[in-house]
């Protein structure tokens, strides 16, 4: 090995007076220390990050559940009614006590179909239209009452008095629900207090009976009523307090005749 061998020749820049071993030890010690970083550039502890994450999580939960920030309701325009999403309202309208629901339907039908002649108080006018208040044929046998509405009436009425050309059929456009409603309404309103509910099944039976008449479409007479229709309509009576769907008037299955409807008038 010659001194000129570049592989082994001592590096000129190394000061032979410096303890090479001490330099190596210091360098190793420095490497073991945490690196020096500039002020503001210190690494953040993992616990600080975790704590911040926790705070963000809680804040998000509060905003999402109770806060108004993400509430769509706060953003919609005034007077803008949001429709219920299709299928969201599967439960349907609130059930109502049968008597109330039938009466509500009946009130509409009465004002549309009967009011014009029998008057808003159902007292008629005494000259051309008879009173339905206390009228034996309104409050009596239900089939006779239904036949008068469906077919009209001519000749003597329950009081024996005949009014002009009589009453024309009111069957046009009348559904079983409408008929049941208006019968229930007349029987339990204007001072009449029969206290029964004429069900849609009973009304349907009346419509079937009416359609099966020999002289279908002709006005009823006292003779025909007396001969064939002095009887109650077939069908189960409905507890006036039983809960029904206010639109279809169908009894709500499983619902107890609720204490929710104590207001049903007694007869
Ligand atoms: C176009 C006028 C008119 C309309 C509408 C009308 N009625 Fe009449 N109604 C009469 C007349 C007139 C008589 C009397 C018929 C007769 O003299 O035979 C009568 C008689 C009756 C009677 C017999 C009363 C009794 O005691 O003898 C009943 C019940 C009755 N109407 C119920 C109704 C009901 C319920 C409605 C509505 C669904 C209705 N009427 C709609 C004119 C009308």
C-beta of residue 202 within 8 angstroms of C-beta of residue 234: yes
Domain containing residue 181: CATH number: 1.10.760.10
> Does ligand 1 lie within 6 Å of residue 135's CB atom?
yes
Q: Whose structure tokens read 């051309």?
A: 128
Residue 249 lies in a domain: no
The pLDDT tens digits for 249-267 are 998 876 554 444 444 454 4
Q: Which two tokens stand for residue 50?
A: 């975790």
Average confidence (pLDDT) over 222-239: 93
Indicate which atom in ligand 1 lies nearest the CA of residue 219.
18
The pLDDT tens digits for 197-222 are 999 999 999 999 999 998 888 999 99
Q: Whose structure tokens read 């009346």?
A: 206
> Does ligand 1 lie within 6 Å of residue 186's CB atom?
yes
Residue 253 lies in a domain: no
Residue 264 lies in a domain: no
Residue 161 CA, ligand 1 centroid: distance in Å: 12
Residue 241 CA, ligand 1 centroid: distance in Å: 29
pLDDT for residue 80: 74
Closest CA to 217 of 262, 172, 182, 247: 172
Pick from 111, 114, 165, 203 the residue to mutate for probing ligand 1's pocket: most ligand atoms within 8 Å of its CB: 114
> Does ligand 1 lie within 6 Å of residue 162's CB atom?
yes
Give the Cα separation of 69 and 72 in Å (integer). Answer: 9
Q: Whose structure tokens read 């926790």?
A: 54
Residue 7 lies in a domain: no
Residue 206 lies in a domain: yes
> Does ligand 1 lie within 6 Å of residue 170's CB atom?
yes
C-beta of residue 152 within 8 angstroms of C-beta of residue 145: no
pLDDT for residue 263: 47
pLDDT of 227 above 80: yes
For helices 176-187 and 200-211, the axis angle rounded to 10 degrees is 110
Average confidence (pLDDT) over 227-251: 91
C-beta of residue 143 within 8 angstroms of C-beta of residue 225: no
Domain limits at 165? 96-244
Average confidence (pLDDT) over 132-138: 96
3-state secondary structure (DSSP) of residue 107: helix
Mean pLDDT of the chain: 85
Vertex 18 angle, CA 14 and 20, to 5°: 80
Residue 91 lies in a domain: no
Residue 47: pLDDT band with limits 50, 70, 90: very high
Residue 167 CA, ligand 1 centroid: distance in Å: 5
> What is the residue with the minimal CA distance to atom 3 of ligand 1?
117
* Residue percentage of the chain with pLDDT more than 70: 83
Residue 239 CA, ligand 1 centroid: distance in Å: 28
Residue 120 lies in a domain: yes
Indicate which atom in ligand 1 lies nearest the CA of residue 156.
18
The pLDDT tens digits for 111-133 are 999 999 999 999 999 899 999 99
Top-confidence residue, 30 or 213: 213
Count structural domains, the chain. Answer: 1
Residue 130 lies in a domain: yes
The pLDDT tens digits for 174-192 are 999 999 999 999 999 999 9
Point out which residues pair with 140 in neighbouring strands. none
Residue 192, phi then psi, degrees to nearest 5:
-75, 135
| Verdict on whether the full-model pTM lies above 0.85 | no
Average confidence (pLDDT) over 56-77: 75
> Does ligand 1 lie within 6 Å of residue 155's CB atom?
yes
């Amino acid at each position: 090995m010659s001194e000129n061998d570049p592989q082994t020749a001592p590096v000129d820049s190394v000061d032979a007076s410096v303890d090479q071993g001490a330099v190596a030890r210091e360098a190793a010690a420095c490497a073991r220390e945490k690196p020096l970083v500039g002020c503001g550039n210190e690494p953040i502890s993992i616990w600080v990050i975790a704590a911040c994450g926790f705070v963000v999580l809680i804040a998000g939960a509060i905003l999402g559940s109770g806060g108004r920030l993400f509430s769509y309701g706060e953003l919609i325009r005034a007077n803008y009614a949001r429709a219920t999403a299709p299928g969201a309202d599967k439960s349907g309208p609130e059930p109502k006590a049968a008597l109330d629901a039938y009466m509500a339907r009946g009130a509409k039908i009465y004002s549309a179909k009967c009011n014009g002649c029998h008057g808003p108080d159902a007292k008629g006018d005494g000259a051309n239209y008879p009173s339905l208040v206390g009228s034996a044929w309104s409050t009596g046998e239900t089939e006779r009452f239904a036949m008068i509405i469906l077919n009209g009436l001519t000749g003597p009425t329950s009081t024996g008095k005949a009014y002009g050309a009589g009453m024309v059929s009111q069957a046009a456009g009348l559904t079983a629900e409408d008929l049941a409603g208006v019968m229930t309404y007349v029987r339990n309103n204007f001072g009449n207090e029969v206290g029964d509910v004429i069900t849609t099944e009973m009304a349907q039976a009346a419509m079937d009976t009416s359609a099966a008449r020999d002289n279908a479409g002709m006005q009823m007479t006292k003779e025909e009523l007396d001969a064939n229709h002095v009887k109650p309509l077939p069908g189960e009576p409905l507890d006036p307090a039983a809960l029904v769907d206010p639109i279809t008037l169908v009894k709500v299955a499983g619902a107890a005749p609720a204490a929710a409807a104590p207001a049903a008038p007694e007869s």
